[in-house]
Structure 1
Amino acid sequence: MPYHEFECSKCIPERKQHAVIKGPGEQLTDALPQGYLNTIPGTISERGCAYCGAKHVIGTPMKDVIHLSHGPVGCTYDTWQTKRYLSDNDNFQLKYTFASDMKEKHVVFGAEGMLKQNIIEAFKAFPHIKRMTIYQTCATALIGDDLHAVAQEVMDELPDVDIFVCNSPGFRGPSQSGGHHTICIAWFKEKVGTFEPVREGEYIINYVGEYNIQGDQYIMEDFFERMGITVNSTFTGNGSYDDLRAMHRAHLNVLECARSSEYLCNELRVKYGIPRLDIDGFGFKPLGDSLKKVALFFGIEDRAQKIIDEETARWQPELDWYKARLQDKKVCLWPGGSKLWHWAHCIHEEMGVKVVSVYTKFGHQGDMEKGIARVEEGALAIDDPNELEGLEAMETLQPDIIFTGKRPGEVAKKIRVPYLNAHGYHNGPWKGWEGWVRFARDIYNAIYSPMHKLSKLDISKDEIPTTIGFETQRMLSDVNLSDEIKNNKELREYTGKWDCTRDLIKKPAPRSDEPQLAIAA
């Protein structure tokens, strides 16, 4: 069997089925780790919860909305924007986060009255915002607060506002992907079809599964406009609440992140007959093929080809320059969701880097299928790794760089492996032809950074002592072990093992002008 067992996880034998090494000639069914299952107790998973998937990933990129979490303030603070979801309304959704700030007394007596008061206060504080989303958390789901009833009561009193309720407690599903499903289906059932837009254009699309990380949506929207295509709504990066209520009026759903938003596209196809096309905004060839696919649907292939020719001629020489310098550099591709397979093949083919590992924390079997199919033999695929497994993988594979989130990235830096933020980017946007070159530049800068090379130098055994002349050294020069240590065999043996500990518990001789204090050992 192709399963890979981590040394650090031998005490949890179930983990063996969650990692595989892609062997020669193996079929996907032979090389698939188990995924999207309940977290194994004791593994110390780093997954996000369903509430995080609903609010942080999908909900809050909506730009003209008060996003209010009904629960403890910690849930809200943990999902305050770190992914740089930009918008053209002065980034309102990035600047502010809202919480009902639930306390213990609300768990006992209920928090519906407090929630209503908070909703009204939020609308009064920002009178130009007339839309709100309320997110349920574990605490309020457990006590049974009726968020829909409270929201309806407010809308009856304030007829110019509209409120969407997402019942997305953290325990709803194995990971944050459960929250993706929850908010997509809730939005479709409660809000799609409740607003009629005034929209002109021969070709109208919904751009779905795009979150405008550092301006990705702006790049893709420009390509669509150059092709004569009108973007009816973007779900949800730089997306307007009312535009997203009008998703039923598009001719085509163009889907970017299938893992987070395919549920919505499938429902729109069933009820309104809107077709779905999956695209990829990353990489020269995948992006070009995607634009041609959308153009083919509307019969305007020549417009897409013109963009492809112009952009490729402008940016191919720069990409080739980076590819020559990144050839055969090893990368651990640990981005989490759909970027696992969006990037796996094209960073190898177009940048020359070798993918030695892929992982996902919340992806489904389909994500692993596509990801493993696009990497080379010998790549290590992991489902829901913890910190120890990540460290062991990096020490074994010795990658030149990893693409991952901030938490695993900071761990990688501690063992001198540079990382790029696959979730929020370093210097984005990374979509489009120029964005792909910008991505290559970020990889090059990370690998060849002189500062990173300096981090690998060990100066602890420098020939020049670093303690000479310091006041602390003088203070410690004339000290004796306390009588307590001398008379305590166990403590004396302990301090003999650690010189630094022994120094810390030594006490200097007191000056004659200061009081004599008893110092505990």
Structure 2
Amino acid sequence: MPYHKFKCSECIPEREKHAVVKGPGEDLTSCLPLGYKNTIPGTISERGCAYCGAKHVIGAPMKDVIHMSHGPVGCTYDTWQTKRYISDNDNFQLKYTYATDVKEKHIVFGAEKMLKQNIIEAFKAFPNIKRMSLYQTCATALIGDDINAIAQEVMDEMPEVDIFVCNSPGFAGPSQSGGHHKINLAWLDQKVGTFEPKITSKYVINYVGDYNIQGDSEVMADYFKRMGIQVLSTFTGNGSYDDLRGMHLAHLNVLECARSAEYICNELKVRYGIPRLDIEGFGFKPLGESLMKVGMFFGLEKEAQAIIDEETARWKPELDWYAKRLKGIKVCLWPGGSKLWHWAHVIHEEMGLDVVSVYTKFGHQGDMEKGVARCQEGALAIDDPNELEGIEAMKTLKPDVIFTGVRPGEVAKKLRVQYLNAHAYHNGPYKGFEGWVRFARDIYNAVYSPIHQLSGLDISKDEIATDIGFSTRQMISDVNISKDEATPIEERPYTGDYDSVTKLRGKTYPNAPGQLVDVV
């Protein structure tokens, strides 16, 4: 068996079966690490809890909702603004967070009365918001507060409001994935079928499993609209509470992140007969194939192909420019959930990156199976890693950059390993054709950052820190530009602002950025 034992975890022998190295010709039955198990006592896990998976990942992106947590304020604070779930209503759900702020006295005497008071006060503070999601936490679940009954009391007294109750305390599952499951089914049981949104097209979908990180959902929704498809609801990025109550009227569920939202898709098929179609929004080839699959379902192949051709012609030259300069760069793909397998193959195939490790903090065996199958031979696959294992892996594998979250990312910085935020992005969105180029640009800027190069110099030993250790050269695009077009690319200053590059795009050269500094 190709199990990998970390030296730092020798005192926890069970950890050995949670990490494997993918060998040549390895079949999945012998190289899958154990996944979705309870965290082993003694290891410092990076996992989130089930409450985090329900409130932070699934619930909070809903835009026109007061998200109220019934528990200590720390639970709420930990799940506030750590992802960039933007919305088109001035980011209401990002600006405010709500907690009943349970104290020790409430654990003794109960907190139901305070909960009701908090709910009413929140609605009065925001009179234009008539919807609320109410989340249970460990503390109030353990003392038995009946949040369903309190929510119903408020709705009886205030008939203009509607409250969704999510009973997913932190201990409701081995990881945040347990919370995904809880909120998926709770939403379906409580709210789906209770509202009839307006149907404006012959082709209607729910876009499921996307959370509009820096605008991801809007990018994909734009493609669907250009095909003539109505996006009835987005579960839950930039999603409207009432639109999501009408999910039962869609003709197709288009699923992006299977780990977080396949549960509601499967149940919608059972209860309402709505089929499920899995797609991928990352990478030119996977995205093109996904748009075509949706097009084929509705008989809109021509419309899908027109988008693919237009976007590819516009953005592929830029992607190729970056790919030439990223070939052979070593990366650790440590994103947490579905990006493990959404990215494992395509960043190698389309950007030339070498994936030396993959991991998941809360994925199931299915995630590991797809991720390991897609990544390169020799990659180290890890389930539920702790901080010391991550440090040991970076020291052993010596990656140029890791794609992960803020906490392990900050640890990587101390080891002088660049990181990109795989959860909330650095400069997203990363979905879509343009987004994939934006991702490549962020990787390029991370790897070739002059500041990063300078950080490795020891000013107590190096004679002149600014002159020792690196050199720069101008990288000029080799695109041919006709005389009658605007200022040639090589004469344009590169500001580092991707939007400025986009505005400079011409009709016949949707190509590479202009002057870039490559540090060697």
> What is the TM-score normalised by the length of structure 2?
0.89
| 1:404 equivalent in structure 2 | 404
Residue in structure 2 matched with residue 131 of structure 1 by the alignment: 131
Matches within 5 A, 1:306-321: 306-321=306-321
Of stretches 293-302 and 453-462 in structure 1, the one that deviates more from structure 2 is: 453-462
Give secondary structure in 2 for the equivalent of 1:214: coil
* AA in 1 matched with 2:239: G
Task: Please tell me the residue identity of whatever aligns with 2:182.
Answer: T
Identity %: 81
2:428 equivalent in structure 1: 428
Question: Which amino acid in the other structure matches residue 137 of structure 2?
Answer: T
**Structure-2 residue corresponding to 1:208:** 208
Deviation at 1:46, TM superposition (A): 1.1
Please give the residue correspondences for 1:100-249 in structure 2 after superposition, counting only pairs within 5 Å.
100-249=100-249
Separation in structure 1 between the aligned mates of residue 429 and residue 342 of structure 2, nearest angstrom: 15
Deviations 1:93-123 (A, max 9, x none): 0000000000111101100000000000000
2:286 maps to which residue? 286
How big is each residue's C-alpha offset from its partner over 1:1-22, in whole Å with a ceiling of 9 and x where there is no partner? 1000001001110000000000
Query: What is the CA–CA distance in structure 1 between the aligned matches of 2:315 and 2:443, rounded to whole Å?
Result: 17
Aligned counterparts, 1:456-475, within 5 A: 456-461=456-461
Q: Measure how far apart 1:75 and its partner are.
A: 0.3
What amino acid is aligned across from residue 57 of structure 1 in structure 2? V
Tell me which amino acid in the other structure corresponds to 2:335. P
Q: Distance in 2 between matches of 1:380 and 1:132?
A: 43
Equivalent position amino acid for 1:20 in 2: V
Secondary structure of 2:213's counterpart equals coil
Q: Output the CA distance in 2 between the equivalents of 1:292 and 1:458.
A: 53
| Counterpart residue number, 1:2 | 2
Give 1:274 shift. Answer: 0.1
Offset of residue 196 of structure 1: 1.1
Question: How many aligned positions are there?
Answer: 464
TM-score when scaled to structure 1? 0.88
Query: Which contiguous aligned blocks of 4+ residues in structure 1 show a shift greater than 2 angstroms?
Result: 459-464
Q: 1:25 Cα shift? A: 1.3
Task: List per-residue Cα deviations over 1:328-385 (Å, max 9, x = no partner).
Answer: 1000000000000000110000000000000000000000000000011100000000
Which residue does 2:361 correspond to in 1? 361
Amino acid at match of 1:370: K
Q: Using a 3 Å threshold, how does the CA distance of structure 1 residues 324 and 107 change in structure 2: closer, same or farther? A: same
Give 3-state SS (helix, strand or coil) of 1:69's partner: strand
Q: Residue type of the partner of 1:376? A: Q
Q: Unpaired segments of 5 or more residues in structure 2? A: 465-520
Cα distance in 1 between the residues matched to 2:269 and 2:8:
46
Distance in 1, matches of 2:450 and 2:147, equals 54
For 1:343-382, what aligned pairs fall within 5 Å after superposition? 343-382=343-382
Deviation at 1:462, TM superposition (A): 5.5
Q: Report whether the alignment pairs 1:449 with 2:473.
A: no
User: What secondary structure, in the 3-state scheme, does the structure 2 residue paired with 1:428 have?
Assistant: coil
- Residue 233 of structure 1 aligns to a residue whose secondary structure is strand
- Unpaired runs of 5+ residues, structure 1, are 465-521
SS of 1:114's equivalent in the other structure is helix
SS class of match (2:171): coil
Q: Distance in 2 between matches of 1:77 and 1:26?
A: 43
- What's 2:97 paired with? 97
Q: Which residue number corresponds to residue 58 of structure 1?
A: 58
For 1:81 and 1:279, locate their aligned partners in 2 and report how far apart those are by CA, in whole Å.
27
Equivalent position amino acid for 2:143 in 1? I
1:142-197, CA deviations, whole angstroms, 9 ceiling, x for partnerless residues? 00000010000000000000000000100111100000000000000010001111
Q: 2-side partners of 1:197 and 1:359: how far apart?
A: 40
Query: Alignment partner of 1:171: what SS?
Result: helix
Structure-2 separation of matches of 1:138 and 1:146 = 13
Q: How many Å separate the matches in 1 of 2:176 and 2:408?
A: 17
Alpha-carbon distance in 2 for matches of 1:339, 1:25: 23
Report the equivalent of 2:35: 35
Q: Bigger radius of gyration, 1 or 2? A: 1
Counterpart AA for 2:438 = R
The Cα of 1:316 is off from its aligned counterpart by: 0.7
Q: Which whole-Å deviations, capped at 9, do the CAs of 1:438-482 have from their partners, x for residues lacking one?
A: 000000000000000011112234679xxxxxxxxxxxxxxxxxx
